[in-house]
Amino acid sequence: MAAGELAGTVGGGPVYRALAAEVARVRARQSGRSARVLDVGGGSGAWAVSMARLGCVVMVVDNSPNALAALQRRARDAGVDDLITAVQGDVDALADVAPAGRADLVLGHGLLEVVDDAVAAVAALTSATAMGGAVSVLVAGRHAAVLARMLGGRLGEARALLTDPDGRLGLDDALRRRLDAASLRELLEADGALGVEVLQGDGVLDGWLPGAVRDGGPAATRAVAELEELAARAPALRDVAARLHALARRRQG
């Protein structure tokens, strides 16, 4: 699974709505011009296709040729292949494939928890963003992972996730870090170039809903979606979301 494929409610939910609002903001500010979106680690294009369906021009950068081939098939099937460009590369050399300071919106979904140097990755995402544009990141939440292990009776793993500085299970952990809301904000705002405007949960209710509720039909689905939207920004609930989403604005000057 490529970095950008890390869950998230593509096509709905609080993350999608935050991105759709940002695209509308760009369109209003630019007299109807299509938003330029850069999706770093975008995998097979779940988010890219959603953005293209909103009328955005999207460049996807990923180091997997198989994922990029799947992206191109998905884009053709969705009828948006003319809006999406696939480029092989990664965040470590993003400046080599994506022009600096040009993207209205840069996505780094499922990226910061897998890169060696998260600080350098944030700097690369920021450099690719136009002044006044936004960076969107979606990361694995530390506290949700702790609770899931605890409820599963894996108390040693829960302790490791809670006490390790990076929220890891050890050297064999597939993720290099898990973040909480405070550490995510600190990472994004560290050098002063970005200011976080949205910090919300994604998948707040994922791990806790009984199966009977999930299978309760359209009315239950709507009720869950409404609760998820409310829970996404409630700090106490946000902090135990499976994923954390932040939208940060690149400051002028």
pLDDT one-digit tens code per residue, 27-65: 999 888 899 999 999 999 999 999 999 999 999 999 999
Mean pLDDT, rounded, for 108-121:
97
What confidence score (pLDDT) does residue 220 get? 82
What domains does the chain contain, in order, with CATH numbers?
3-141+179-250 (3.40.50.150)
CB atoms within 10 A of CB 72: 16
SS3 12: coil
What confidence score (pLDDT) does residue 10 get? 58
What confidence score (pLDDT) does residue 158 get? 97
Asked whether the predicted pLDDT for residue 4 surpasses 50, the reply is no
| DSSP letter for each residue of 79-140 | T-GGGEEEEE--GGGGGGTS-TT-EEEEEEETTTTTSS-HHHHHHHHHHTEEEEEEEEEEEE
Is pLDDT larger for residue 223 or for residue 36?
A: 36
User: What's the mean pLDDT when you consider all of the chain?
Assistant: 92
pLDDT digits (tens, 9 = 90+) for 119-148: 999 999 999 999 999 999 999 999 999 999
pLDDT digits (tens, 9 = 90+) for 65-83: 999 999 999 999 999 999 9
What confidence score (pLDDT) does residue 252 get? 84
How buried is residue 27: exposed, middle or buried, by Cβ count under 10 Å (0-12/13-18/19+)?
middle
Closest CA to 19 of 42, 43, 50, 41: 50
What confidence score (pLDDT) does residue 9 get? 45
Q: How far is CA 12 from CA 17, 74, 105, in A?
A: 7, 18, 18
What confidence score (pLDDT) does residue 11 get? 54
Torsion sign over Cα 165, 126, 18, 212: negative
Asked whether the predicted pLDDT for residue 5 surpasses 70, the reply is no
- What band does 223 get if pLDDT is binned at 50, 70 and 90? confident
Mean pLDDT, rounded, for 188-216:
88
| DSSP letter for each residue of 179-233 | B-HHHHHHHHHTTSSEEEEEEEEESSSTTT--HHHHTSHHHHHHHHHHHHHHHHT
Distance CA 62, CA 91 (A): 8
Residues 62 and 88: beta-carbon distance below 8 Å: yes
